[in-house]
Structure 1
Amino acid sequence: MTKSTFVYVTYIRTTPQKLWSALTDAEFMKQYWFGMHCESEWTAGASWKLVSGDGAQIYDDGEILEADPPRRLVIRWQHQNRPELKAEGPSLCTMELHADGEAVKLSITHTIEREHSKLIEAVSGGWPKILSNLKSLLETGAIVLPDPYPSKGGNA
Structure 2
Amino acid sequence: MNDVAPLDTYGVLTEPATLTIQRHLPGPIERIWAYLTDGELRRRWLAAGTMEMTVGSSFELVWRNDELTDPPGRRPEGFAAEHRMQGRITELDPPRRLSITWGSTGGVTFDLAPAGSRVLLTVTHHRVTDPAILLRVSAGWHMHLDILVARASGQEPAPFWDGWNRLHQDYARRMQG
TM interval, shorter chain, is: 0.7 to 0.9
What is the root-mean-square deviation in Å for CA atoms of aligned residues?
Answer: 2.7
Q: Pairwise mapping of residues 27-38 of structure 1 onto structure 2 (< 5 A)?
A: 27-33=40-46, 36-38=47-49
Task: Please tell me whether the aligned partners of residues 143 and 163 of structure 2 are also in contact (alpha carbons under 8 angstroms).
Answer: no
Q: Given the superposition, is the C-alpha separation of residues 113 and 137 from structure 1 closer, same or farther in structure 2, using an over 3 Å criterion?
A: closer
> How much identity, in percent, do the aligned residues show?
28
Aligned-partner SS, 1:98: strand
The secondary structure found in structure 2 opposite 1:38 is coil
| Equivalent residues of 2:51, 2:59 under 8 A apart | yes
| Partner of residue 98, structure 1 | 113
In structure 2, what is the equivalent of residue 84 of structure 1? none
Q: In 2, distance between residues paired with 1:113 and 1:125?
A: 13
State yes or no: 1:46 paired with 2:57. yes
Gaps of 5+ in 2: 1-14, 68-81, 166-177
- Provide structure 1 residue ranges, at least 5 long, that are not aligned to the other structure: 79-88
Aligned to 1:130: 144
Contact 2:105 2:126 (C-alpha < 8 Å) held by counterparts: no
Task: State the match for 1:81 in structure 2.
Answer: none
TM-score (norm. length: structure 1): 0.75
Cα deviation, 1:114-149, whole Å, max 9, x if unaligned, reads: 3x443322110111111111111111x233124334
Tell me: CA distance 1:5–1:151, structure 2 relative to 1, closer, same or farther (3 Å). Answer: closer
Structure ranking higher in strand proportion: 1
Given that 1:49 and 1:58 are in contact with CA atoms closer than 8 Å, whether structure 2 keeps it comes out as: no
Cα distance in structure 1, aligned partners of 2:100 and 2:56: 10
Report the TM-score, using the length of structure 2 for normalisation.
0.67
CA distance in 1, matches of 2:160, 2:105: 27
Aligned to 1:86: none
Q: CA deviation at 1:50?
A: 1.3
**Counterpart position of 2:89:** 64
- Offset, 1:112: 1.4
